[in-house]
Amino acid sequence: MKPVTAALALLTVTAGLAAHPHTFINTRLELTFTETEFNGFWIDWEFDPVFTDMIAEYYDSNGDGSYSAAETQEVYKDAFSNLANYHYFTRVFQNGREYPTETVKDFSVYIHNGLLHYRFFVAHTADIPAPGRKETLNIAIFDETYFCAVDYFNDTPVTVQKPETVHVAYTFEENVKRRIEYPTNDATAAMGITYPTELVVTFSIKE
């Protein structure tokens, strides 16, 4: 096991230690549609400089600032695959039912503007209803331990790949029903409180 693995594990096995959060993630989503269905979304995570440097130190073996297929596989194994135990921080809610993410595919690693990015695809299928009706689903990306603080890019947090026949609208909403408590260094409060932000997506066939 590389030394970094114990510190990552990924990012959650030490969730009981010290004040949170320890790692900061900016998220961008790319929603994908066919003419008849929503079929999932790409997640792009941008990590903070500390985590970027940590991964580079142990996994960018030739120090070239990019990740080969072999290096990417090592990152996946040591610093990503453990997130399966936490549903990759990702849940979809539709028609009153929760769909925790069990698997992802097409994982890749890259550097942009000096920061580490993970990119991967989450499959979730939902039929686009007939004209005059609409479907809504919520996508929630958060760490229940708040070891990782997950936010969204200010600039273009969501892109949509769809045919012209499909109408898509979305908004961000704070889910105050899902309270997350975490340890802090604030002497006046034993625990901090935060609430995850969810992407609410509505789609339909254009009339």
Q: How far is it, in rounded angstroms, from Cα 108 to Cα 42? A: 11
Neighbours of 45 (CB within 10 A): 21
Is the pLDDT higher at 160 or at 145? 160
Q: Is the pTM of this model over 0.85?
A: yes
State how far the alpha carbon of 72 is from the alpha carbons of 48, 56, 61, 174, in Å.
18, 11, 11, 33
pLDDT in tens, 52-108: 999 999 899 888 999 999 999 999 999 999 899 899 999 999 998 999 999 999 999
Asked whether 158 and 199 are in contact (CB, 8 A), the reply is yes
Residues near 97 by Cβ (< 8 Å), separated by ≥ 6?
none
pLDDT (tens digit per residue) in 148-204 = 889 999 999 999 999 999 999 999 998 887 777 766 665 566 667 778 899 999 999
Q: Residue 91 CB: number of other CB atoms within 10 A? A: 19
* All structural domains of the chain with their residue ranges: 3-205
User: Class assignment of domain 3-205?
Assistant: mainly beta
Could you tell me which residue, 175 or 9, shows the higher pLDDT? 175
